[in-house]
A and B are shown apart, each in its own frame.
Chain A
Amino acid sequence: MIQIEYLLVVSAVMMFAGVFGFLTRRSTLAILLSVELMLNATDLNFAVFNRMLYPEGYEGYFFALFSIAISAAESAIAIAIMINIYRMVKNIQAGELEQMKW
């Protein structure tokens, strides 16, 4: 028997681990990994609220599906930008990227 609070605690740990990584990581790729953690926690929350509070509906289910598609698009663009930056300056540390254009 699983209460809704147990699932919410799991996704809260995931979410705030992502917040911690986002605030403290130096490498931009590691920051992106933390963003993925946070997005995954919100997807889990959508599905949990749908399943536990309104099991006859499917709104949260579709939100989670679309959110997965959008986070895939986001990480593809972000990784293209990272590769381009690395080609330009040989470095993707967040503290050393100071110019918008080379």
Chain B
Amino acid sequence: MFVVLAVLIMLSSLATVMTKSIVRAATYLLFVLLGTAGLYFLMGYTFLGSVQVMVYAGGIIVLYVFSILLTEGAKDESFKRKAKDASWGFLLSLVGFVAFLSVVLTHQFKSEVLGGPSESASAVTTISSIGHGMLSSGEGGYLLPFEAVSVLLLACIVGALIIARKR
């Protein structure tokens, strides 16, 4: 299961940046996000996976497809990249990738291996403990970021309406 999801994620994320059509890029991004939600489910984080599916796959991708169709549509001719820019960007990201891999693969993590569902991981991420963590202001509580995110979302709604309104 993990191999299927990993291959899907890696191939789709490469296809997102390689494809010529921007609508296809959004569709491949949808597959990447759904595969990531599958990885969350595999790790036992059910609520995080559902949030990923609802917000990312259900909300953001739909918003992107709408805005693509509202602006430049499926026009492809202005979408090509110059070969010089592409080779420089490829070189830079390849250097970063190799540096990251060399650090990760030589570091000795004191981690467990992901087998079946874990007791301790599922005990702290039940819906009730997430709700208590989200709304408690004490030790390990996330009330302040929760309220900050709600103010941010309100400001974002008002700001998006003001920016995109008809004048």
Contact = CB atoms under 8 A, between A and B. Distances in A.
A30 B32 contact: no
From A6, A79, A81, name the one whose CB has the most chain B CB atoms within 10 angstroms. A79
Given A27-B72, A57-B124, A62 B133 contact: yes
Nearest to A62: B142
Contacts of A62: 133-134, 142, 145
Contacts of B92: 19, 23
Given A37-B13, A53-B111, A12 B100 contact: yes
A76 interface: yes
Main secondary structure of the interface of B (DSSP, over half): helix
Given A25-B17, A36-B60, A12 B97 contact: yes
Interface residues of A, number: 68
Nearest to B81: A24
B21 to A, nearest CB: 10
B2 A30 contact: no
Given A13-B13, A62-B134, A72-B59, 15 more contacts: A5-B105, A14-B9, A27-B72, A27-B78, A33-B25, A55-B121, A58-B140, A61-B45, A65-B48, A66-B149, A68-B55, A70-B149, A72-B60, A86-B72, A92-B71
